[in-house]
Amino acid sequence: MSTRALRRLKGKQRGQEALDLGDVTLGDSPEEQAVGDEDQQDTANVNVSPPANSKSTSRKAKKSKTQKNFSNIYELICEADNETEKNSPDEDGEKRDKTNGSDNRDVEKPDQKETEESTKSLAGNRVKKKKKKKKTKVTSEGGQEGVPEDNIDLLLENLEQPNGLSLQNEDCGGSDRRSVLHVEHRNLNPETELKRYFGARAVLGDQRPRQRNRQFHRSTWMTSPKDSWPRFSRPGISMTLLQSKDGIHYFTFEHSRDYQQVQFKFLDAVESMDPNNIVALLQLNPYHIDSLLQLSDVCRIQEDQEMARDLIERALYSFECTFHPLFSLTSGTSRLDYLRPENRAFYLTLYKHMMFLEKRGCPRTALEYCKLILSLDPDSDPLCMLLLIDFLTLRSREYKSLLQLYQDWEEYRNLSQLPNFAFSAALCCFHLSQQEDRDPEENEKQRCKAGQMLQNALIMFPGVLMPLLDLCSVQPDASVTSNAFFGPKSQIGQPPALAELVALYVGRTYNLWREAPVMIWLEESVKEVLRRVEAQDPLVEESQNKRKQRYQSAPRNIHRHVLISEIKEATSSLPLEVTTQPVMSFDPLPPLDSVISYTRPERRYVGASNESTLSLFFRSLLPNFNLRGEQRQEDEMEVARAGQELNQEVNRLMVAMRDMLANIRFQEPPREDNPYRDEEEWD
């Protein structure tokens, strides 16, 4: 920050400073004299005779410097500011100190200074460079070091945070959560990870020339708009801040009246079971969120992965353009309630985008989105991201971050009671012990710790071993298959919720266990577990009691996670109350206590797909006939009169049908005169 800007902040104007008569001299300033002396030395070094009046020459040289040609008008303003800073009375004392110090140094080594000046002059460096002033540390009244005047970032930070406290205090969900679920903006872009794998030239080689003729789009963090997309217009979604409590901001999305009407049309298109109706709706409303999600699933089923991913990115871009100014993706202090239907589409869009990134080969970017979804509602975790974050961490090889999450959240989340964390944490310790850049003794300790954790996981969840070996195409030893602890009895006797969790983990992470070192380590741990079972380790009985008491019924968010994960091994283990009810991909298993902001208007009863043939016949004759007996909001007299008229019409219809059936006569076919006629004869 310049001195003139600081004077304006203090309320001072240029020229209002107190005059110091001691500074006013008839001669030149010491700086001008120093410049004159340097010019004189330079001219002497190049064998040019100095003029008679050295002071006037120095003034002319200095004037010629200031009157140079400027291609930019703002350079003149900068030069004026620099001159003002030079002559400001606030820095006179500092200049005097520096001048005195420099004079003392010049007295000590005059020959060295003259040699350096002559060398510069001989090299042809006639332009004098301005020396930067050394910034001195300003000590505040409290004893703390102040911020340099030119460092505007630190200055603004001190203005906003006078006590040095961060914006996120410990009440904002705990420091461990912020450190574990920390999200970085640059890691939300998959190009960052692809550049690390293949290089920037391979990733952005074809995109650089096209950016010159690219249309203007709003800058976003999560996705980049494409030129092939329809022109963006606000679809009618907005984000509102509900409340702020203890540093946590609670937001919600809201739908406008026009967007609600489009939503009703979308529900009609879904009920028609025709994807062409959704396509027609998207042509008129290209950024309708639920239509994009539903059509993306249709394209994915038809194996059009590129189109399915493009539709999800378009929905994500539509959401990001409606963010509230206070909504933050990285701070971990923004919350969205899943109970509101308007917020669920954002959760599902993030999840589907994350899965596309994981299949695309960007597990590190997918991990950032997983942490982002978990940070939106870490307490209830509506999509159960704790069942997925370990897999993405192992895929991205962020072993230390998973162990940190396991240690920090074990106290109040009991992560060791989830099969995925029990086995994945042990696998992380094993991979850390295999690193070659660490101390061998440290690696041995880490391997022993990993083996102990894996043994405890196998004792707690013995039903994981056999399905895992089956998917890894590994034939287990006879001693393992014949043992009752790992035999079929261990899988049949599992509670339903535990069987669902085990099937989910095995179906998702079996590829991580196929490596030869990991399989050898698993074999050693299984043998040790069999030895502990035969020795009647008390942990075996304790784990068995825990399995019987817990895992009787899984919560609704686990069922929802299994449905959207689409893992066959886990989907087949879902209970009947989940598989028998209809599941919509744009809102799978909505919460039972949803907060409804607007409702779909009741449609007039038209058609009857499940009515009998007789009721359809009555409706064709009498349009007012209704077998379900729907009552209108009328007076009791009108309802009774309508009922009497309906009965009379039905009676007349029944009488007419009786008469029609009684008068029906069937005509007998004509008989031939010669019954013994040969059929082979021609007419």
Q: Are 539 and 504 in contact (CB under 8 A)?
A: no
Closest CA to 183 of 416, 453, 375: 375
Give the pair of three-digit tokens for residue 535: 């020795």
H or E element that contains 55: helix 54-66
Handedness of CA 123, 125, 126, 132 (dihedral sign): negative
Written as one string, the DSSP assignment of 132-172 is PPPPPPPB-TTS-B---TT-HHHHHHHHH-TT---SS-TTT
Distance CA 41, CA 332 (A): 64
Give the pair of three-digit tokens for residue 413: 């989340």
Distance CA 228, CA 515 (A): 42
600 backbone φψ class: left, alpha, beta (φ>0; ψ -120 to 50): beta
Round the CA-based radius of gyration of the chain to a whole number and report it. 40
Q: Are 573 and 503 in contact (CB under 8 A)?
A: yes
Identify the CATH number of the domain defined by range 190-198+223-380. Answer: 1.25.40.10
Please report, for residues 464, 467, 493, 530, 536, the alpha-carbon distance to residue 487 in angstroms, rounded to integers and kept in the order given: 11, 11, 11, 12, 17
Q: Are strands 248-255 and 237-245 parallel, antiparallel or unpaired?
A: antiparallel
Distance CA 619, CA 2 (A): 86
Cβ neighbours of residue 472 closer than 8 Å, sequence gap 6 or more = 510, 513, 514, 519
- DSSP E strands in 482-553: the ranges are none
DSSP H helices, 92-185, are 92-108, 110-122, 152-160, 175-180
Residue at 210: amino acid letter: R
Q: Are strands 334-336 and 248-255 parallel, antiparallel or unpaired?
A: parallel
Q: Are 312 and 566 in contact (CB under 8 A)?
A: no
Chain-centroid distance of CA 642 in Å reads: 59
Give the pair of three-digit tokens for residue 428: 């992380």
Domain ranges of the chain: 190-198+223-380, 384-554
Residue at 117: amino acid letter: E
Chain-centroid distance of CA 299 in Å reads: 23
Across the chain, which has 683 residues, the per-10-residue mean pLDDT values are 60 49 45 47 42 45 43 38 44 45 42 46 43 41 43 49 36 46 83 78 60 53 86 89 93 95 93 89 93 93 92 94 91 92 95 94 92 93 95 94 92 91 95 88 92 95 93 90 86 88 95 94 94 92 90 91 92 88 88 89 56 58 52 51 64 68 58 51 44
Closest CA to 646 of 667, 671, 621: 621
Handedness of CA 578, 582, 586, 590 (dihedral sign): negative
Closest CA to 509 of 420, 429, 403: 420
The predicted pLDDT at position 657 comes to 67
Q: Are 375 and 181 in contact (CB under 8 A)?
A: yes
H or E element that contains 240: strand 237-245
Give the pair of three-digit tokens for residue 182: 């920390």
DSSP H helices, 361-439, are 363-376, 389-396, 399-413, 419-433
Q: What is the DSSP letter of 584?
A: B
CA terminus-to-terminus distance, the chain: 119
Q: What is the DSSP letter of 499?
A: H
The predicted pLDDT at position 387 comes to 95
136 backbone φψ class: left, alpha, beta (φ>0; ψ -120 to 50): beta
What is the number of residues in the chain? Answer: 683
The model's pTM:
0.64
**3-class SS letters over 469-488:** HHHCCCCCCHHHHCCCCCCH
Cβ neighbours of residue 398 closer than 8 Å, sequence gap 6 or more = 364, 367
Q: Are 287 and 235 in contact (CB under 8 A)?
A: yes
CB count in 10 Å sphere of residue 17: 12
